[in-house]
Homo-oligomer: A and B are copies of this chain.
Amino acid sequence: MRTSKYLLSTLKETPLNAEAISHKLMLRAGMIYNISSGIYSWLPTGLRVLRKIENIIRKEMEKIGAIELFLPVVQPVDLWRKSGRLELYGSELFRFVDRNNRNFILGPTHEEVISNLIRDLVISYKQLPLNLFQIQTKFRDEVRPRYGVMRSREFIMKDAYSFHIDHESLQKTYNIMYDTYKKIFSRIGLKFYVVKADTGSIGGSISHEFQVIVKNGENSIVFSTESDFVEKIEFTEAVLPSLSYKKPAKKMSIIDTINIKTINDLVKQFNFPIDKIVKTLIVHANENSSNHLIALLIRGDHKLNKIKAEKHPLVTSPLQFATKKEIKDIINADPGFLGPVNISIPIIADRSVIVMNDFISGSNIKGKHYIGINWLRDLPLPEEYDLRDVVDGDMSPDGKGILKIKRGIEIGHIFQLGTKYSEIINVSVQDKKGRNQIITMGCYGIGITRIIAAAIEQNHDDRGIIWSDVIAPFQVAILPIDIYRSYRVRKVAEDLYIKLNRSGIDVILDDRNERVGVMFSDMELIGVPYLIIIGEHNLNKNKVEYRERCSNDKKLIEVDNIIFFLKEKLAHCFV
């Protein structure tokens, strides 16, 4: 490519309205162009990176025998109503009607569509297992589109769906996909972590996420300082250092707290330590309980972990908080001053609450709090349960080191769906004995556009993006100084350009006749890994200057050696 015939469109200024560094750099490097909230055009430089990632994924998928197809963007609402996901996705679905008033959605995922197709096209166990994938534009009407392509409303995914006669076959493919995902992300050059995950709106049982640690990540990923423990915060057990109850030191008394609205108010106005305060949350009980409501207790500085709470045998799932009216009507308490003393419903207390002494909480009476509360003395010891998110400094559940929480972004997610969709849509095949057998399914996603943002978050400096060789938009940039004044410079540059192109190396020749500083800052901004600077001065010694983007190394290389040198550098891309 020649810059003179290319749409480079780099920006000097950092664009407003971009928070994440990857978003800023993608805009500045001319990779994307915003048209509406969360909707982007992929400019040539961005698309080059996108296509390289797509091709790595495609090749790895084909290696394991997955077969590519292409499902429609537009999906009939009926399919989603049938699977029960119309409500589940709710306003995240872009919905519309056609000229005949038929209802459609823009696909955020394709479980329904592909299950339907397989039901009609696959009839015998002999056709299984099947692993089908597509690379396609998906749509999701995000509440808060942000961080550029990290959370956008129109994005590109690789989604795969596997079909099996039984769970054993699914497990086999699941394991292969698990390994293939690791291979793909490694090839792309990402540092990532695999964590157990919630199956959420996709459904099924077992599921794993592939997470990349980035500054603006939306997930909390928990690490241990002294082992390779890694988990999503949703699943990490909060382990207590010891379960010894501290002795009461204070008497329980009631105080006036009429203007208190939050725990922070309590801390500020009364100077109470936040870890001496107990938060009381009232949630719905499920049909296993004889009560309608249940009280959950969490220490003031802790956060309720919904997934843990939902696992309690008496709590509804998904978790449902009691309304103010329910609290008043059913337990006759003031919703702003809740507490475990004299409450008429079952209490489940977080492990760290059980070991508290002389603690503070609401009194269930408007404008009053209890202080100096102690278990056993002032009220019975409640049921103990792990209810909270872990925090920095908690002990690691594997007993090694303490926990450190980082922000992560999901770039891949694999699911064992089981028969969730195949039962609803009646996807069955004839087994060996001619009997109908419901198919077992898996599904596997990679957020392709998001990978690009993640890669930039992980690899950049103050001059711009640092790409790995395999996904860089161009692998080599040729920067000739005074190309239109020096015949010799032009000749060497053009020769090199032609030869590198012939070698299958992605090369960009900057023939804009710009100052070397401008060429430099553009090529460093868009993250070209290897730069060759050609000038009269070095050509006198029959040399050109070589610079490496990631290491900042520079050296002079003989003109005749450049091709060989670069081919060696890039050899790993041609495996």
Contact check, B113 vs A41: say whether CB atoms are below 8 A apart: yes
- Kindly list chain B residues whose C-beta atoms are within 8 Å of the C-beta of A35: 72, 75-76, 113, 116-117
- Kindly list chain B residues whose C-beta atoms are within 8 Å of the C-beta of A7: 67, 69, 121-122, 127, 130, 132
- Kindly list chain B residues whose C-beta atoms are within 8 Å of the C-beta of A132: 7, 44
Contact check, A33 vs B120: say whether CB atoms are below 8 A apart: yes
Once the chains are docked, how many angstroms separate the CA of A75 from the CA of B41?
Answer: 10
Contact check, B67 vs A117: say whether CB atoms are below 8 A apart: no
Report if A258 contacts B (CB, 8 A). Answer: no
Chain B, residue nearest A51 (CB): B68
Once the chains are docked, how many angstroms separate the CA of A386 from the CA of B7?
Answer: 48
- Kindly list chain B residues whose C-beta atoms are within 8 Å of the C-beta of A127: 7
Which stretch, A91-99, A329-337, A475-483, A488-496, touches the partner chain B?
A91-99
Chain B, residue nearest A66 (CB): B5
Chain B, residue nearest A163 (CB): B7
Report if A467 contacts B (CB, 8 A). Answer: no
- Kindly list chain B residues whose C-beta atoms are within 8 Å of the C-beta of A76: 35-36
Report if A18 contacts B (CB, 8 A). Answer: no
State how many angstroms separate the Cβ of A120 from the closest Cβ of chain B. 7
Chain B, residue nearest A139 (CB): B74
Report if A425 contacts B (CB, 8 A). Answer: no
- Kindly list chain B residues whose C-beta atoms are within 8 Å of the C-beta of A30: 121
- Kindly list chain B residues whose C-beta atoms are within 8 Å of the C-beta of A102: 36-37
Chain B, residue nearest A131 (CB): B5
Report if A192 contacts B (CB, 8 A). Answer: no
Contact check, B96 vs A94: say whether CB atoms are below 8 A apart: yes
Once the chains are docked, how many angstroms separate the CA of A426 from the CA of B4?
Answer: 23
State how many angstroms separate the Cβ of A304 from the closest Cβ of chain B. 27
State how many angstroms separate the Cβ of A52 from the closest Cβ of chain B. 13
- Kindly list chain B residues whose C-beta atoms are within 8 Å of the C-beta of A421: none
Chain B, residue nearest A65 (CB): B5
- Given that A7-B121, A39-B74, A104-B36 are contacting pairs, would A141 and B98 also be in contact in the complex, using a CB cutoff of 8 Å? yes
- Kindly list chain B residues whose C-beta atoms are within 8 Å of the C-beta of A139: 73-74
| 20 examples of A-B residue contacts, CB within 8 angstroms | A1-B67, A5-B67, A7-B69, A7-B121, A9-B121, A9-B122, A33-B117, A33-B120, A33-B121, A36-B75, A36-B104, A37-B102, A40-B72, A47-B68, A73-B154, A74-B106, A74-B153, A94-B96, A96-B96, A99-B143
